[in-house]
Structure formats: structure tokens, C-alpha cells
Structure 1
């Protein structure tokens, strides 16, 4: 259930990015109407502008700093999500036994399976949906920040390092790095967890789509993806340190 919800959220995020392209072309201003613009996008746009002015109109550095601030603010949610995932993973052997015990597909057997599953969760104090809540909280914030970057008019007129923030990276360096870091982040996140075909597909599909988007979208967005991915890689590595060491040891012993 949880993996299906996670997969659905990831796909919905991609669809939202694609479907939101028309609105992304409209600069966000104090006159922009709607809850989404007034309470999410415009305030984040103002935060970006504030730090840019603080750093001498350096909007690239501002995007880096604000990305790190947002990721740090969301860190407690990420830790909670990781702990919930580990708790569910610990129950996998018992869940497999229950599925084997109630393998029949008739309605009565499946209902009994669900009851046994719920009792298993209750006995171990695990909420199967608790790990999904952080995802639903993070997505609007990160998507709003994406909108703020794309719809802050001043960003389009500034450069950072070797690229113009308002145009795609001419050397495709950021898109490639964004794709590689997306793959690494997902690979580390999946270490020590049971994988299904959908998640295995997303391991490759997400980086490819990120590269395609990054090639076409302004470099400011690619910069946000790269910084966010690097933070996520470090964050996941430290949170899942024991799992990663165990998986590495297991791979070395084979």
C-alpha cells in the first residue's frame, strides 16, 4: 500500500510539473490571486529575492541557500518517513508469512488477511500510512519553491557561474549532474528495502525525465534540483548509515 502511494505521489509530481507549465510562464507578483500564489509561491519568491539582495543581487547563490534552508526545515519529516519505512521493513518477514497463509484470492480470505495485517501493525505499534504523510507535506512546499524559482522575474536576468539563470545550461552540465544525483539519491534511498517493479522502474525513469526537463527548462531550476539532490544524498546517507554498511557488507560477502 505504502509503495503504491509513494509511486503515485512521484508520478503526480511529474504530471503537476508538466501541467503547470502554463502558469509557470506567468510572473508571480503581489497582485497574483489564489491561495496557491498568495500563501505559497509569492512568499517563497520574496525569500529568494531577500537573500539575493543580501548577497549583492546574486540570485544563483540565493537559490542555493534557500534550497538548503527548505531542505533543513523538512529534515524532521524525512527522518520520520525513514523510521517508518524501517519499521515496515522489519515486519516484512511476518507479512510474507501471512500472505502465504492466506494466499487464496477469494473475498473472505483476503478480508481475513487484511485483519491479520492490521493486527500485526497494532501489535508492533506501526502505522502503515505514517510514512506517507511526510511525502504529502513535502511535495506542496517543494513544488511551490519550484514555481517561485520559475516565476520570479528577476531571476531570468541574472547569471551564476557559467550559465544564465533564465536560460538552459548551454553545456548541459547541470542537466547531466541533476540526472546523476537523482539516480544516486534514489539508489541510496532504496538500499536495504524490498523493491517492486514500479520502484525499480522509477529508479531509471526519474533521472531520465529530470535530464529531459533540465535540458529544456531554465538553468535556475536545474541548479535547484542539483543542490536539493546533493543535500538529499548526504541526508539519506547519514540517516540510513547502518543499513548502507550492512548492505555493503552483504554484497562483499557474496
Structure 2
């Protein structure tokens, strides 16, 4: 199995992630607060609505922003849970299928080990 670490990921995709971060941070003005009339798709439809939801839930919880963020996070995780369970089930099924096919694949690899592609 390949050794996967954060450093190999950064070495491989670091420049792409850096460029993406620079492009996305350039999409908004950091000195202006995000309000109802803020331009930009992501700011208007996601960030503003989440901030309103967090503030409303915090007011309901007695001013606890941390608790409101935890509740919203749990709600989002519950909404996404069917997709995560389906992905996990599919992954386990694929592992079972690969376990059945592994002896055959090993035999084929052993048979063609010394031969090169044309």
C-alpha cells in the first residue's frame, strides 16, 4: 500500500491548492461585511444565509454561538448521512468483489510479469 501523508499531498497538489485559494479569496472584498444585498453567488446564497441561521439559533440558545454552530453541523451531517452510508456500503461491496478477484488477478500478473506492452 502506498504511503500517504500530508506532505506528499502538498508536494503533489500544493500549487493547485494555492492558486485556487488565491482565486477564491479574490472573489470578495474582505473589508466589507456580508449583508443581504452583497454581490456574489456564494456570499449571497450560502454565507449570508448561514450567518443569519447561526445568529437566530444563537439568540434562541441564549447567545451561545458555539452551541448553534454545533447544532447546525449536526443537522448538516444528518442530512448527508444517507449519502455517506451509501458510499461506505458501496466501498465495502467493492472490497468484497476485489477479494474474490484477487487470486485471478495475481495469476494473470504472474503469467505476464516479464512481458512488456507493445
TM-score range, shorter chain: 0.5 to 0.7
In 1: Cα distance, 2:105 partner to 2:34 partner: 51
Structure 1 residues 101, 34: CA separation in 2 closer, same or farther (over 3 Å shift)?
A: farther
In 1: Cα distance, 2:38 partner to 2:54 partner: 17
Alpha-carbon RMSD across the aligned residues, in angstroms, is 3.2
Aligned to 2:93: 87
1:171-250 to 2 correspondences below 5 Å: none
Query: Does residue 43 of the first structure (1) align with residue 54 of the second (2)?
Result: no
SS for the counterpart of 1:91 is helix
Aligned to 1:61: 67
1:20-65 CA-to-partner distances (Å, cap 9, x unmatched) read 5565946432122222222222222221111011112221111111
TM-superposed deviation, 1:98: 4.7
Query: Does residue 73 of the first structure (1) align with residue 84 of the second (2)?
Result: no
Structure 1 residue ranges, 4+ long, deviating more than 6 angstroms after superposition:
none
* Bigger relative contact order, structure 1 or 2 (CA pairs below 8 A, ≥6 apart): 1
Aligned length: 95
TM-score under structure 1 length normalisation = 0.31
In 2: Cα distance, 1:32 partner to 1:98 partner: 59
Structure 2: which 5+ runs fail to align? Answer: 1-8
Greater Cα radius of gyration, structure 1 or 2:
2
